[in-house]
Amino acid sequence: MFSMFFMSMIIFLISLIVMMLASILSKKTFVDREKSSPFECGFDPKSSSRLPFSLRFFLITIIFLIFDVEIALILPMIIILKFSNLFVWSITSIIFIFILLIGLYHEWNQGMLNWSN
């Protein structure tokens, strides 16, 4: 018990020392205006480099990420099917898919899935 506590303290101290060294060594001493500005073939940029982006593409990206995470949550459910109670597994799966369908209906109702606009 004591050796486990001792080893965890050593690991904690080593990681703390490495993080402190990394933060000390990574500090920049000066900020150069030219290095922090956007580069356009050696000339000053003609327009702002911060162009506004379409909110529609951002929402499509968020929808993609949500469904991507949902797929990552659904795949282990198939593997767990062998090891769990069939009734509990089916109720959990039905509730999860029902929540996904409610989210899909809400997105459809709000017009997020209309690509023609």
Position of tokens 């090891």?
Answer: 83
Q: What gap in Å lies between CA 80 and CA 25, rounded to an integer?
A: 47
Q: What gap in Å lies between CA 103 and CA 73, rounded to an integer?
A: 15
User: Each residue of 37-92: pLDDT tens digit?
Assistant: 666 566 666 666 666 777 777 777 888 888 888 888 888 888 888 888 999 989 98
What number of CA atoms fall less than 13 Å from residue 99's CA on the CB side? 10
Q: What gap in Å lies between CA 66 and CA 55, rounded to an integer?
A: 17
What's the confidence (pLDDT) of residue 45? 60
Which H/E stretch holds residue 72? helix 55-80
What's the confidence (pLDDT) of residue 22? 86
**CB-based contact 66:74 (threshold 8 Å):** no
* Beta pairing partners, 53: none
What's the confidence (pLDDT) of residue 32? 65
Average pLDDT of 86-114? 86
Residue 117 has pLDDT above 60, yes or no: no
User: Each residue of 1-36: pLDDT tens digit?
Assistant: 678 888 999 999 999 999 999 888 876 656 666 666
Domains of the chain: 2-110 (1.20.58)
> Can you give the pTM of this predicted structure?
0.48
